[in-house]
Homo-oligomer: A and B are copies of this chain.
Amino acid sequence: MAEREVDRSVSQTVKAQLALRDQILSGALRPGERISELQAVETTGASRTPVRMALVRLEEEGLLEAIPSGGFMVKAFSERDISDSIELRGTLEGLAARFAAERGVSARELEPLKECLAAIDELLRQVPISVDAFSSYVTLNARFHAVLTELSRSPPLIRQIDRASALPFASPSGFVMAQSALPEAQQILIIAQEHHRVVIDAIENREGARAEAIMREHARLAVRNLRLALRNRTHLDLLPALALIKTATD
Contacts and interface: CB of A to CB of B under 8 A. Distances in A.
A204 B93 CA distance: 28
Given A91-B91, A95-B88, A80 B160 contact: no
20 contacts: A49-B49, A52-B53, A56-B60, A57-B60, A81-B154, A81-B155, A81-B156, A84-B154, A84-B155, A84-B157, A87-B95, A88-B95, A88-B156, A88-B157, A88-B160, A91-B92, A160-B160, A160-B163, A160-B164, A163-B163
Copy count, this protein chain: 2
Nearest to A75: B155
Interface string A59-96: 01110000000000000000011001101100110110
A101 interface: no
Interface string A161-190: 001100100000000000000000000000
A49 B154 CA distance: 33
A71 to B, nearest CB: 13
A227 interface: no
A91 B99 CA distance: 13
Contacts of A87: 95
Contact of A88 (B56, B61, B84, B92): B92
Contacts of A60: 56-57, 60-61
B80 A91 contact: no
A159 interface: yes
Contacts of A61: 60
Contacts of A85: 156
Nearest to A86: B156
Closest 5 CB pairs of A and B: A60-B60, A84-B154, A85-B156, A56-B56, A84-B156
A84 B84 CA distance: 22
B84 A91 contact: no
A98 to B, nearest CB: 9
Contacts of A52: 49, 53
